[in-house]
Structure 1
């Protein structure tokens, strides 16, 4: 075997390991780490404020408001605040009609979720701030179970568990559901061993005293939740705090969503970098494994594919041509397929491409501050 062949094999092997690292090797390492228990104590639950932002969510509002009414009935002291980001439909009117239930803050126009959440946090009075999304429904025990975790004074933030609905609606939804089940298990293991490294916006909370200052260009979910870790407190996940949301079924919607999230995530990483460097070794390892390596999965696919193609060329140009044709054929079939393994594989590749595009977009200096709800939920 020549030196070039060995180099190509090493590149291919390294690309495969890096691609599988967040989903195979990292979880195995987490399972081998010892448990860090919480010091749960009896006592009165802290006061809480539930916050969410909305833009053109009129279709989801009746169910959302009914869900909030149920939670308010169970927790009469729960403060609920909503920010309308310049909706052009009836979202603001529907929320305003429930003035006894929800305090509505109207934005001046499209200013973005991060800006809206900062406005809500500044007005909230609860000891604990609970963040959720306009299209997310919380189970009846979610608030009580979440607040109970704050009996441990070392706990500064608590994430819930997101359960997606509509898994069978399309291959995109099925892949999204599988990805999220893996993500939930990773968070469970991270929580068991110390800290979860970042939250998503469906359901998470922090002590109000830990709420940070940050620009509108970052992901508020990641920025706010990581402030708990930076403060030396624990960010944990509660399996019994359940939120439910419908999956995105359309490829176009999911692609645009992943580009937007990845671009904002990279800007968030740049904003948090000085504090990330001061984290403990275990938390830095978790962050790199679950965040950074995954953001560049598209690069690992490209480098691995090019290495494999180069090796095939060295064996036989005809073999390389046949392999490239077969890969292109599978991609074309996957783009047209609505279900099945080929469609699922195509959606995985599309997800990696969208994430890489978002990161490259952010690295070039561009960002996205506003969002639009997916039409295919």
Structure 2
């Protein structure tokens, strides 16, 4: 039973560290380090030319609102260029974009995936700063200014904006769980940036120095993640701009959110292989610590640890019964029962805050197993798979 006990405690340590411990340690490290990013707070006159690149695939229902929102952004018009790329779209999205002479439309009938579309758009970007955002999001008015001010620091190679999930109180557990997850992610990104660098930007809103862009392989699924971390590999930091945010509604239902999570998980395993050098502590000590703690463990050892935690606990209850092992098993079973209730409520479009956190936590980790299986099979397409949103 000694080996089983060791596996139990190691599994518990990994899960606890990944989801709670890392945030606590990072918070303490930031406090010990002291705040060093205050310089960007006073940069108001820094206005480099910038290009906004919007990838839009079959967005005819939302593209008009997106264009209105883009024209309302507060940035000098003579320094601000807009490119919307609609490759593969089969609806009226290209036609709706073409009505606006202030926007450069790029369209090809072939559906080659988002990474191919971004590579093509980047060939036409001639400004020092490029900003990427999704077509199904709305940006706050000062988003561009709040992003570009960080580039006054020459060590900054990219800037990650904040993603906000907009949902009503009546939304179901899947929607509310997604919102809570992104609030926690935003908190960790803030700490990551203050310690050293954001670890992987979200495609809803992020920016890079144009000169640092490297064409992304066509098969890449998480283009935003790969692009930003490759800039890290070259010695630059990714700043965080919580005052530049992209707002979007949650997935339409649990099936759409499941599809999105499995795709992200498959892309995560792909990214770990493509970014293998980031696992070398001697080459990137701070970044590797953050990368493994914040990202790699979530896609590898944490989901495995959850499974081993339950299996070893059952074995210990059977073969070495004690009040402690019974208590641990009861706690785990209660947690999973709450998650199942949350799942049932999500399917029925019902929300209960008491059950949404355990449900979404388990939901994410199951998606990792499914994403890993899909990655091993090699049948995850890099083509746009538009998730329906509310």
Aligned partner of residue 242 in structure 1, secondary structure: strand
User: How many angstroms does 1:178 deviate by?
Assistant: 1.1
1:255-303 deviation line (CA, Å, top 9, x unaligned): 1101111112221221121355374211101000111101133212111
Distance 1:225 1:279 in 2: 17
Distance 2:67 2:44 in 1: 32
| Structure-to-structure mapping, 1:357-368, within 5 angstroms | 357-368=370-381
1:329-348 deviation line (CA, Å, top 9, x unaligned): 65654432232233542332
Distance 2:162 2:339 in 1: 34
Give the match for residue 287 of structure 2. Answer: 283
* TM-score, with structure 1 as normaliser: 0.90
Structure 1 residues 23 and 331: CA distance shift in structure 2, 3 A: closer
**Which moved further from structure 2: 262-271 or 186-195?**
262-271
Give the match for residue 46 of structure 1. Answer: 48
Structure 2 portions without partners, runs of 5+: none
2:174–2:253 CA contact under 8 A, matched in 1: yes
Distance 2:335 2:16 in 1: 20
1:103-161 deviation line (CA, Å, top 9, x unaligned): 11113322111111111111111110101101111111111121111111121111112
Aligned partner of residue 37 in structure 1, secondary structure: coil
What RMSD, in angstroms, separates the aligned Cα atoms of the two structures? 2.5
Aligned partner of residue 164 in structure 2, secondary structure: strand
2:130–2:207 CA contact under 8 A, matched in 1: yes
| Structure-to-structure mapping, 1:140-289, within 5 angstroms | 140-166=141-167, 168=169, 169-218=171-220, 219-274=222-277, 277=280, 279-289=283-293
Structure 1 portions without partners, runs of 5+: none
**Which moved further from structure 2: 164-173 or 112-121?**
164-173
Distance 1:313 1:236 in 2: 50
Question: What is the total number of aligned residue pairs between the two structures?
Answer: 369
Distance 2:289 2:336 in 1: 36
| Structure-to-structure mapping, 1:52-71, within 5 angstroms | 52-71=54-73
Structure 1 residues 265 and 108: CA distance shift in structure 2, 3 A: farther
**Which moved further from structure 2: 252-261 or 76-85?**
76-85
* TM-score, with structure 2 as normaliser: 0.87
The answer as to 2:388 corresponding to 1:369 is no
User: How many angstroms does 1:246 deviate by?
Assistant: 1.2
User: How many angstroms does 1:192 deviate by?
Assistant: 0.6
User: How many angstroms does 1:30 deviate by?
Assistant: 1.1
**Which moved further from structure 2: 355-364 or 199-208?**
355-364
**Which moved further from structure 2: 336-345 or 251-260?**
336-345
**Which moved further from structure 2: 175-184 or 12-21?**
12-21
| Structure-to-structure mapping, 1:97-136, within 5 angstroms | 97-98=99-100, 100-136=101-137
Structure 1 residues 214 and 279: CA distance shift in structure 2, 3 A: farther
2:113–2:382 CA contact under 8 A, matched in 1: yes
Distance 1:274 1:368 in 2: 25
Structure 1 residues 77 and 43: CA distance shift in structure 2, 3 A: closer
1:341-368 deviation line (CA, Å, top 9, x unaligned): 3354233212211122113322443432
The answer as to 2:308 corresponding to 1:306 is no
